[in-house]
Structure 1
Amino acid sequence: MRLVHTLAFAAALGLAAPALAQPTPAPRQPTISVMGTGEAELKPDFATIVVMVETEGDTVPKVVADNKKSSDDAIARIGALGVKKDDVRTQNFQVFETPIRTDKDGKEIKVPKFTAQHRLRIKITDLDGVGRIAGEILSGSNMLFQSVSFGLNRQEEGGDAARRAAVKDARRQAELYADAAGVGLGKLLTISDGSAQPYAAEFNDGVQMRSMAKAAPMEAPIVPPATLRYTANVQMVWEIAERP
């Protein structure tokens, strides 16, 4: 009889254990979630002109040597325009087999076997002189004008200003929704950062203009932008509280 009572008591505890192990879930706190966007505009500090020096030859050593000479001449010409030596840098250099060319009748034209391309980035801090310098480059020889863009020396300033504006916009929206719903805005729970993106003012991107040998000096029609625009977004979540 004692064994039967012991087994029955153990069975009762086994059935009751799972129910005792499950706590009562806490009520979920209601929230307000909004996406804020922000913009910032700052005056550019410099312009970047990209040019390319291209040479052709029947051997790799010759085409490389010719390209070096043409590049040295191009850099000297750029320096004569008042651009500092440290502001001229190689962006890319490559040597490849010259693609096949044909005339208007579709007949193959004999071309040098190899082509060398040296792409240079030129930083210009005199924004008012960008058009003049670009025109001088185009009036020279051995240079292929590719693009001009504008930027800030401290890119993070634009992004940070846009992020601050995005947070301000998110709070404005949250307060508006809370007021319209008749509730209060409680504790800030989460902030999810979105990347800040600069607006790059770039001209002649992908368009190549060949410099003209012995051409008269000219000024390229380049007007620097008054400001560069940066954008950012942020996701923010607040608790909903009782209205004070």
Structure 2
Amino acid sequence: MRLALAAAFATALGLASPALAQTPPAPRQPTISVMGTGEAELKPDFATILVSVETRGDTVTQASNANRAGTERVLARIQGLGIKKEDIQTANFQVFQTPPQIGPDGKEIKQPKFSATHRLRVKTRNIDGVGQLAGEILASGDMTFQSVSFGLDRQEEGGDQAREAAVRDAKRQAEVYANAAGVTLGRLVEIRDGSAQPVEPYADMRMEMRAAKSAESVPLVPPATIRYTANVQLVWELAQKP
């Protein structure tokens, strides 16, 4: 009798276990996901002018030696304008075969076989005087003015301020949605970082001036601020209003 009762009890447990395993899951907590955007504007700390020294020669050595001599004259002139030596850096240097040129008569124009180009970055903190500096560079026959850009000493500061603004924007939107739906924001459960960057690298202005014989001052208008943008996605749980 005892064996029969034990067997019956075990059978009952075996039949009950599948039912216990099929307990319905807890209801999923409702959430809201919002994308926020933000901006930050900071005054530029410095300007960078890109100039180039271009020379030619019948051999690589001739083109390179001529470029070295021209670069030395350029460095002396730029430093004479009040730019510190450590604020002048090489952007790149290259020597290449001069591409052929065909004259109006259809014949190839004779010219040196090799060209050398040395590009230099010139940094100045005199933002308001950058047009005067560009004009002095243009007046030199040894270098070509190529572009100007503006930047920040601490670039991450602009991105961080834009991110903070993006979070505030996302929270504002989420609160508007929740209030309209008759619920309230609960626990913040997820943050998905987007991008944070200047609208254009370093500046809102870039210019090209490859051919100019002389100029006392270039009419450059530095940007008052450099604008950064950022976006972020935040997810909150929703709760009923008390």
TM-score with structure 1 setting the length: 0.88
Identity, % of aligned positions? 62
Distance 1:18 1:117, change over 3 A: farther
> In structure 2, how many angstroms separate the alpha carbons of the residues matched to 1:77 and 1:211?
18
Residues 70-114 of structure 1 show CA distances to partners (whole Å, capped at 9, x for unaligned) of 011111111111111100000011111111112234321112111
CA-CA distance at 1:141 after TM superposition? 1.0
**Counterparts in 2 of 1:210 and 1:72: CA distance versus 1, 3 Å:** farther
* 2:113 is the alignment partner of 1:108: no
Residues 104-149 of structure 1 deviation map (CA, whole Å, 9 limit, x = unaligned)? 3432111211111101001110011100000000011121111001
| Aligned-partner Cα distance in 1 for 2:143–2:49 | 12
- 1:201 correspondence with 2:204: yes
Unaligned 5+ runs, structure 2? 1-6
The separation in 1 between residues aligned to 2:182 and 2:104, in whole angstroms, is: 76
Query: 1 CA distance for matches of 2:107 and 2:196?
Result: 52
Question: Are the aligned partners of 1:148 and 1:203 in contact in 2 as well (CA < 8 Å)?
Answer: yes
CA distance in 1, matches of 2:95, 2:168: 52
Could you say which residue in structure 1 is the equivalent of 2:120?
Answer: 120
Per-residue displacement from partner, 1:30-86 (whole Å, max 9, x unpaired)? 111000000001100000100111111111111111101101111111111111110
Q: Are 1:70 and 2:73 an aligned pair?
A: no
TM-score (norm 2): 0.89
Q: Which residue of 1 aligns with 2:95?
A: 95
Change (3 A) 1:70 1:211: farther
The answer to whether the Cα contact below 8 Å between 2:205 and 2:223 also exists between their aligned partners in 1 is no
Q: Where in structure 2 are the equivalents of 1:10-159 lying within 5 Å?
A: 21=21, 24-159=24-159
Q: Secondary structure at the match of 2:39?
A: strand
Match of 1:224 in 2: 222
Uncovered stretches (5+) of structure 1, i.e. residues with no partner? 1-5
Asked if the contact 2:51–2:145 (Cα under 8 Å) also holds between the matched residues in 1, the reply is yes
Moved over 3 A (4+): 15-24
